[in-house]
Structure 1
Amino acid sequence: MTDVTTIFDNPLYTLQQKTTGTGNNQIDKEAFLKLLTAQLKYQDPLNPMDNTEFVGQLAMFSALEQIINIGDTLNSFVSTKTKEDAMLLGATLIGKTITTTSSEEFTVKGVSYEDGKLKIDVGSKTLSLDEINGIKA
């Protein structure tokens, strides 16, 4: 018969003080694998995990990996789409006269996309969209 104290010395059953995490609350592939291997390591050899449960957990891991890949693909798509939209907007400004928030007028010479923002080249300086108050034909 198994000693009760050895069962509760198992890290899976040990109560620990709740701490406030500083990271995100999402589980990633590595954390899932660590949980799965810990579960396998500390399972009772006389009462092993059911095969269907194990296969279910592996399927869950596969699904998690695919969801992470889909998320990465969507993030890449959104980033590219945002840049394309900004450049298209900027291209419509080239050659037009813009008025800044400080009431200065400039003719747009070109545009660029830096640090996730559209930059407007007016020759003497570079402006952001926040600094533009109006557009003249």
Structure 2
Amino acid sequence: MDGISSSTARTDYLQLLTVSLKNQDPMDPVDQEKMVNDLTQFSILEGIENLNSSFGQFMQMQQLSESVGMIGKSVEYTHPITGELQSGTVSELFTSGNEVRLMVDGATVGMDQITRISEVAA
């Protein structure tokens, strides 16, 4: 279901439910128990999606908190294009989308590229 958001699915479901109720056969009405079960399952799914979103935000905050301690540290990292091992000092961190990025001697480095962290030699 790529490209379908929770909001879109909710709107589509409610529109379908409304059309179904408008066009139901008066001699064979919708089973109320089935409708309540469907709404319950839909509500549970929506709750899980909200929980996943909150967990993703928590993980980003956790990664930011851990990254703050890297400012002023010397790091080694793998260059994403050349694959070379490079090193430098972390001067700042920022987010780009959902990813925490570090500024290492003028180069932008992703957390997943870091291979070593150490104190700066005096």
Q: Return the TM-score normalized by structure 2.
A: 0.68
Q: CA deviation at 1:119?
A: 0.3
Please list the CA deviations of residues 92-126 of structure 1 after superposition, one character each: whole Å capped at 9, or x if unmatched.
Answer: 21111001222322111111121111100124121
Give the match for residue 66 of structure 1: 43
Computed over aligned residues only, the root mean square deviation of the Cα atoms, in angstroms, reads 2.9
- Whole-Å Cα distance in 2 between the matches of residues 62 and 108 of structure 1? 50
**Runs of 5+ unmatched residues, structure 1:** 1-20
Is residue 38 of structure 1 aligned with residue 20 of structure 2? yes
- Whole-Å Cα distance in 2 between the matches of residues 89 and 96 of structure 1? 13
- Whole-Å Cα distance in 1 between the matches of residues 59 and 39 of structure 2? 30
Change (3 A) 1:123 1:69: same
Q: Which structure has the greater CA radius of gyration?
A: 1
- Whole-Å Cα distance in 2 between the matches of residues 116 and 22 of structure 1? 18
Is residue 126 of structure 1 aligned with residue 108 of structure 2? yes
* Count of residue pairs the alignment pairs up: 109
1:82 paired residue among 54, 59, 68: 59
Is residue 135 of structure 1 aligned with residue 106 of structure 2? no
Contact 1:96–1:108, Cα closer than 8 Å, also in 2? yes
**Runs of 5+ unmatched residues, structure 2:** 79-83
Q: CA deviation at 1:72?
A: 3.7
Give the match for residue 81 of structure 2: none
- Whole-Å Cα distance in 1 between the matches of residues 51 and 2 of structure 2? 26
Q: Which has the higher strand share?
A: 2
Which structure would you say has the larger RCO, counting Cα contacts within 8 Å and 6 or more residues apart?
Answer: 2
Where 1:120 maps in the other structure, the secondary structure is strand
Letter in 1 for 2:59: T
Letter in 2 for 1:84: M
Q: Return the TM-score normalized by structure 1.
A: 0.62
Change (3 A) 1:58 1:33: farther
Q: CA deviation at 1:134?
A: 0.9
Letter in 1 for 2:28: P
